[in-house]
C-alpha cells in the first residue's frame, strides 16, 4: 500500500493505492474557486493553500481507507515538474512523514503519473502503448515502452492545449477555468462556422497552439459580435481536437503499438475522448480514456507510478528535491523506420 501526494499546481491530493492498481481512497481539494478571481493560478496563493490543506487531506485519505501509517509501505510524491513553491509543500510533507514513520519515499514525475492514470483506469493495459498527456501545462505524446522507458515522441512548441482553451475562453469573456465552459458552449455550436487554423508542422509529431490563440484573439476583436459564442467555441474545440487526435493516432502507427491512452485535465473533455475513441476504432487501435477524476491532477496516479520502483527497492533519500522543470527523454520517429513491424507497410514508412 502506497500513500500518494500531489501538489504540483492548484490541487492538493492524497490517495492510498494497493498493489499499484487498486484505489483504496482518493481525496482532492481543488483551488479552482480561489484562483477564479484572478483568471488563472497564482503560484504564491497556491503554495499557501497547499500548506493549509496537505495534512488534513492526508488524514482524510487514511481515514477513508480505514488505514493507519503502519499499513503504508511507502510514500510517493510529485516532485517535478510544476510550480516549484507548490511542489515544495508536497515534497516536504512526504519527507517529514517518511522520516517519522520510517518509510521509503519516491519522487514521481508528474507527466509519468498521468500515463499511469490510464493503467489505473484499465489495469489490463500493458506496455507498450502511446499516451497523449494533455493539460493546462503539458501537451506531450509519450511512448510508454516499459516502467523504466517513457519517451517523448512529440510535445508542444509553445502553448499547451489546456492553456489555449483557458486563454481563448478569457478572450470570449468566459470565466476561469475556461476549458469546461468552452466544452459546454461547443455542445450547442456549429464546429464548421469559423475556419480556425490547424498547425500541422509538416511531418512533426510536435504541437503548436499559439497561432490558434492569436487567430481567436483577432476574430474576437473583428467579428466576435457577429457569430454566436457557441459556434466560436465549437470551432475552437474542433481545431484543437483534430490535431490532438490525428497526431496521436499517427504516433501509434509510427511506433507500431496497438493501444492509445489519454490523460491530463483536457482528457476529461468528452468531445476529445469521443473523437479519440472513434479514430482508434477506425484504425484498429485500443483506446483507453480514463474517467474525469483520473484525468485531472490526483495522487492515486502518483502512487501507481511509484509502485514499480517500490517493487525494485529503488527509493529516493531525504535529499529529494522539487524541480520546476524536467523533460522526459525524447526519441525521434526515425528510430522506428527500419524496425521489423514496419517492413512492408508503406503507410507506416
Domains, the chain: 2-115+296-312 (3.30.420.40), 123-294 (3.30.420.40)
Closest CA to 251 of 169, 129, 97: 129
Residue 312's pLDDT is: 96
Give the mean pLDDT of 244-264.
97
**pLDDT bracket for residue 338 (50, 70, 90):** low
Residue 237: is it exposed, middle or buried by C-beta count within 10 angstroms (0-12/13-18/19+)? buried
Each residue of 172-210: pLDDT tens digit? 999 988 999 999 999 999 999 999 999 999 999 999 999
Integer CA distances (angstroms), 331 to 255, 285, 326, in order: 10, 22, 16
CA–CA distance, 337 with 283 (Å, rounded to integer): 19
**pLDDT bracket for residue 245 (50, 70, 90):** very high
**pLDDT bracket for residue 20 (50, 70, 90):** very high
Helix (H, G, I), strand (E, B) or coil at 195: coil
Residue 341's pLDDT is: 46
> Within 10 A of 260 (CB to CB), how many other CB atoms are there?
26
For residue 276, the surrounding DSSP H or E stretch is helix 270-282
CA–CA distance, 225 with 167 (Å, rounded to integer): 18
For residue 250, the surrounding DSSP H or E stretch is helix 229-255
pTM, 2 dp: 0.93
Specify whether the CB–CB gap between 60 and 289 falls below 8 A: no
Amino acid at each position: 500500500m502506497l500513500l500518494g501526494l500531489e501538489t504540483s499546481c492548484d490541487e492538493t491530493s492524497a490517495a492510498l493505492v494497493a498493489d499499484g492498481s487498486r484505489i483504496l481512497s482518493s481525496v482532492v481539494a481543488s483551488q479552482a474557486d480561489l484562483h477564479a478571481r484572478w483568471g488563472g493560478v497564482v503560484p504564491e496563493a497556491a503554495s499557501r493553500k497547499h500548506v493549509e490543506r496537505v495534512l488534513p487531506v492526508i488524514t482524510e485519505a487514511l481515514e477513508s481507507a480505514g488505514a493507519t501509517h503502519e499499513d503504508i509501505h511507502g510514500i510517493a510524491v510529485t516532485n517535478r515538474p510544476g510550480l516549484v513553491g507548490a511542489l515544495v509543500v508536497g515534497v516536504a510533507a512526504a519527507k517529514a512523514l517518511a522520516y517519522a514513520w520510517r518509510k521509503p519515499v519516491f519522487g514521481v514525475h508528474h507527466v509519468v503519473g498521468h500515463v499511469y492514470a490510464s493503467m489505473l483506469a484499465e489495469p489490463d493495459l500493458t506496455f507498450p502503448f502511446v499516451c497523449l498527456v494533455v493539460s493546462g501545462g503539458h501537451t506531450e505524446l509519450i511512448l510508454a515502452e516499459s516502467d523504466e522507458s517513457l519517451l517523448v515522441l512529440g510535445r508542444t512548441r509553445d502553448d499547451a492545449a489546456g492553456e489555449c482553451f483557458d486563454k481563448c475562453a478569457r478572450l470570449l469573456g468566459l470565466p476561469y477555468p475556461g476549458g469546461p465552459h468552452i466544452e459546454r458552449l461547443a455542445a450547442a455550436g456549429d464546429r464548421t462556422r469559423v475556419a480556425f487554423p490547424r498547425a500541422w508542422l509538416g511531418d512533426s509529431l510536435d504541437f503548436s497552439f499559439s497561432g490558434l490563440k492569436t487567430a481567436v484573439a483577432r476574430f474576437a476583436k473583428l467579428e466576435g459580435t457577429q457569430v454566436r459564442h457557441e459556434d466560436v467555441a465549437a470551432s475552437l474545440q474542433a481545431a484543437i481536437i483534430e490535431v490532438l487526435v490525428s497526431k496521436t493516432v499517427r504516433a501509434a502507427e509510427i511506433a507500431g503499438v496497438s493501444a492509445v491512452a489519454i490523460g491530463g485535465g483536457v482528457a476529461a473533455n468528452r468531445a476529445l475522448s469521443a473523437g479519440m475513441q472513434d479514430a482508434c476504432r477506425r484504425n484498429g487501435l485500443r483506446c483507453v480514456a480514463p474517467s474525469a477524476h483520473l484525468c485531472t491532477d490526483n495522487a492515486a496516479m502518483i502512487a501507481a507510478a511509484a509502485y514499480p520502483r517500490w517493487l525494485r527497492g529503488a527509493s529516493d533519500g531525504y535529499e529529494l528535491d522539487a524541480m520546476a522543470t524536467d523533460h522526459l527523454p525524447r526519441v525521434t520517429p526515425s528510430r522506428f523506420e527500419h524496425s521489423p513491424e514496419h517492413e512492408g507497410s508503406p503507410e507506416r514508412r
